[in-house]
Amino acid sequence: MVVTPTYPGVYIEELPSAVRTITTVSTSVTAFVGYTTRGPTGGATTVTSFGDFERRFGGLSADSPLSYAVQQFFLNGGGIAVIVRLAPGATGSTVTLSSGGTELLRLTAREPGAWGDGLRASVDHGATPDTFDLRISDLAGTDETHTGLTPATAADRINATSTLVTAQAVPNAPDDTRPDASGTVSDPFDEVPNPAGAEITAAIEGRANSEITFTLPSGPAPQRLQQVALLLERGLRANARGQRAFSGARVRTTGDNRLQVIAGEPDAVILFPDDGDLGLAGTTRPPGSAFADGAPGTLPGAGDWLGSADEKTGIHALRDVDDVNLLVLPGVSALASLDEQVAVLAEARVLAETRRMFLIADAPAAWRTLDAFRNGLELIDSVRGDHAALYFPHVLLSDPLTGLVRDFPPSGAIAGIMARTDGDRGVWKAPAGTEARIVGARGLTVKLTDAENGLLNPLGINCLRTFPVVGPVVWGARTLDGADRLASQWKYVPVRRTALMIEESLYRGTQWVVFEPNDETLWGQIRLNVGAFMHSLFQQGAFQGTSPRQAYLVKCDRDTTTQDDINRGIVNILVGFAPLKPAEFVIIKIEQLAGQVEV
């Protein structure tokens, strides 16, 4: 800030720095698009581990190639995944809470799918006659409790805080009536009973040999109904005989002076055939209202993957997502029609070019021989481009759900290997070679020889190979624009991905330039900051050359930005780099040295 001196003395003035540090963006955040059994739809969700994926999207499913791909991604070194769930036709499970047969509140699983049929809703009556507590639980052990609800405000409060369900008041339902309480509910007490020394018999409804009998301890008469509840709860748990319904039982009081017994096991109901003076034999209800009628949906077709760019559905849901570097579509290779597979992959390749992503494509599942692959290769010409790579064949893995070995598309594992290589060596290192082992792979669907590999590599196809000791590895690093006949400058995967990293880093790191005065002062700042960024990459070994002059170029001056450019509000920045290219062919020349002949 400018200092205005008013008194004799020393003034401090801070001057703006010309340094605007450009940071390197991520290179291995991977987007997966496909079917899962649960999870949010209509957008993208970030997960950072397979455990996180299991919690959000239901884990492995035989109907979900995406779930296995995500598992392989994290197993092979992946760190961050972005999931776009496609589940056409899926609907959410529902349950309606009632009072005496009058429907009051309709609950719907927040995420569509049959998983919601495992949800349970339990109602406890609150401490006051007009409130109630709602507990939502699922089979995975997740539960949430909403306390102090009133009939008039329950739906709004649940919708604002619940991660499992949404709520809607039934039209024309009374707003002064709360839902019936769950569990075994006693008659109302006019005064606090004295259960000391009482013999209690309890059983689980519909379960043979479940009956238990116990005697409540003697002692001073309880002064509050809560003390009676505690005595009964302790008695049930202490005499459970290994039955979870009793060992986890809860006994509470309601606002209208009743005891409420909730079994510790889903769908179990505790009965009291002989309850002494506790009045528990009267009314029984299920411990929780079960959700029902959730539909899992169908497996996505080509149209579901293609989606709509305007509505941002299908793969286009990624248009609103920043920081995605790799794109994987594990289920596309299983589509029945090759034309549909090509249509989806071609659209995905265009999206990758638009969003500075890199597409990892799987060979069609039907291509199980080298001849089948070569005969169908011309059909995928529309997918060719420098923002995509194709890998062949599929990998053989042990299915954790069945224990059987079966084939899976390799794209998830490839994305994990790319992430692992980026972290260990840098994005400029080819994600291939003996270091690029496919963790967990038991083999490959096609075991290629060197000669067969030599037929596919010049066509820009990355082969997976199996070698003794090493096992299955990635043995190719070309883009789909890397066929020898195309003579593309973007022939190799690491060159293209390095350029994408530089482009995205500079795009984000030069936003401050917009609306700055377009003159030599600005150009000098640009050269300083972009040059510092490129030099940091040079020091990490990202470029060819032994000196900065050989490795990279940054130019922003009167030569790049003319007066006409200035008049039109344009500043031009020229950045060049000498890329590292992989040693794809190692040629060792050996000759015999003849002994010296003396003449």
User: 30-87+298-495 has which CATH code?
Assistant: 3.40.50.11780
Could you tell me what percent of the chain has a pLDDT over 70?
95
Pick left, alpha or beta for residue 42 (phi over 0 → left; psi -120 to 50 → alpha; otherwise beta): left
Q: Hey, what CATH class is 94-169 in?
A: mainly beta
Q: Could you write out the DSSP letters of every residue in 34-80?
A: E--SSS--SSEEEESSHHHHHHHH-S--TT-HHHHHHHHHHHTT---
Alpha-carbon Rg for the chain in angstroms: 34
Per-residue pLDDT of 550-579, as tens digits, reads 999 999 999 999 999 999 999 999 999 999
Spatial separation of the C-alpha atoms in residues 422 and 27, rounded to whole Å? 7
Please give the single-letter amino acid code of residue 456: L
Per-residue pLDDT of 317-334, as tens digits, reads 999 898 999 999 999 999
Grouping H, G, I as helix, E, B as strand and the rest as coil, residue 533 is helix
CA-closest candidate to residue 67, choices 475, 409, 450: 409
238 or 375: whose pLDDT is higher? 238
Q: Is the peptide bond before 222 cis (omega within 30 degrees of 0)?
A: no
Q: Domain residues of the chain, as ranges?
A: 30-87+298-495, 94-169, 192-278, 518-599
The arithmetic mean of pLDDT across residues 248-255, rounded, is 80
Per-residue pLDDT of 259-309, as tens digits, reads 888 888 866 788 887 655 566 655 455 556 788 999 999 999 999 999 999
**pLDDT score of 215:** 85
